[in-house]
Chains A and B, each alone.
Chain A
């Protein structure tokens, strides 16, 4: 789905929650007629389960889209091996192959991107612009952060990930 220039994606989890509550509401309203009078506000609430994730995704996607050009201008291209804990907060650009993809169903994908020098976790806190799969060659723009905010190994907080041809 597209809102303006932003492609909005709803997570499988949000859809699953919506389906579960729809079934619950249907069953309850069939077997308990007393509930039917409340449907006037229960149905809008049910749809809010879809609308809220869509709005949140739109907001985060549009913010990331605004940030991408800034990172494009400032980020230095680095090899994965050179990313270290002293670079926390620095914008970087890495190029590599996606070795693993996790949590895509939550719209918070995490990738393991490797180049010849090593591999690094790339965390994204929204859905990517395009679907990225294992073995895709990608360019990642982001900021070096620690895995657990204040501790842990350096990872990349991804602002933009896009497939490139190499």
Chain B
């Protein structure tokens, strides 16, 4: 039996981001500074050469915007304006003032990008933080999960993420109906909760009080602490999130490499369930 403990990967792209972010103001203002110096010392220099600093800064800004899970259409479209202003030949040539204003705009857009659209790459590549710790914890504490069961958990998680609740419920029911899977454990409860969710989405849902819930003993294996609210709907929502996150963690920790990679591509959904994004 394979027990997979997730290792923290180094993220060279994140490091590249740290280098690229300062490059936006440096290149754009640098180009403007070169044009200004050339004018001060009467050096004959075509303004389009220093303007390439602004074009390059726009491309970098667009790249940084594309990396984020929420796309900033304004930042992504800056290279188009850079090409129109500085590359496409026109009757009025770009001046130093335009370079300075453009550099200032790019810097403001970079700040806006970081503040409003978050920093770092999309969740697909990120594997650290509470969810990573949870997967590691499940890998250590649930040491007796066969890889077939983990693959089932992964399949159920993937079907659920696709909104195919009926198929997810079917897979969970198939697992629960097998005799060898009888017993009272957290994963079986998670499967039972997911199996019950499909009916919950129908036009005549079952009363929430009749649905499955994790027991007190199982709560140590859950991501979210059990809801202390008396609101049964809230309690059920937390239980469903926990059930799905348990399936995700079990699949990542115990499934075969191929299945694990498939489930890993649904990391952003797991982050959403974990309320991390």
Contact = CB atoms under 8 A, between A and B. Distances in A.
Interface of A: 76-79, 81-82, 84-87, 90, 92, 116-117, 144, 147-148, 151-153
A148 B74 CA distance: 12
B165 interface: yes
Given A76-B201, A78-B201, A117-B237, A87 B163 contact: yes
B155 to A, nearest CB: 14
B70 interface: yes
B70 A153 contact: yes
A76 B272 contact: no
Contacts of A84: 161, 268-269, 272
A86 B71 contact: no
Given A81-B272, A84-B268, A85-B268, A76 B70 contact: no
A78 B200 CA distance: 9
Contact of A116 (B161, B165, B234, B273): B234
Contacts of B162: 86-87, 90
A40 to B, nearest CB: 42
Contacts of B175: none
23 contacts: A76-B163, A76-B201, A77-B201, A78-B163, A81-B273, A84-B161, A84-B272, A85-B268, A85-B269, A86-B266, A86-B269, A87-B161, A87-B163, A90-B162, A90-B163, A92-B163, A116-B233, A116-B234, A116-B237, A144-B163, A152-B70, A152-B71, A153-B69
Nearest to B269: A84
Contacts of B268: 84-85
Interface of B: 69-71, 73, 161-163, 165, 200-201, 205, 233-234, 237, 241, 266, 268-269, 272-273, 275
A83 B200 CA distance: 16
A86 B237 contact: no
Contacts of A153: 69-70
A86 B161 contact: yes
Contacts of B163: 76, 78, 82, 86-87, 90, 92, 144
Given A87-B163, A116-B233, A116-B237, 16 more contacts: A77-B205, A79-B237, A81-B237, A81-B275, A82-B163, A84-B161, A86-B162, A86-B163, A86-B269, A87-B162, A90-B163, A116-B234, A117-B237, A144-B163, A152-B70, A153-B70
B10 to A, nearest CB: 26
Contacts of A77: 200-201, 205
Nearest to B164: A90
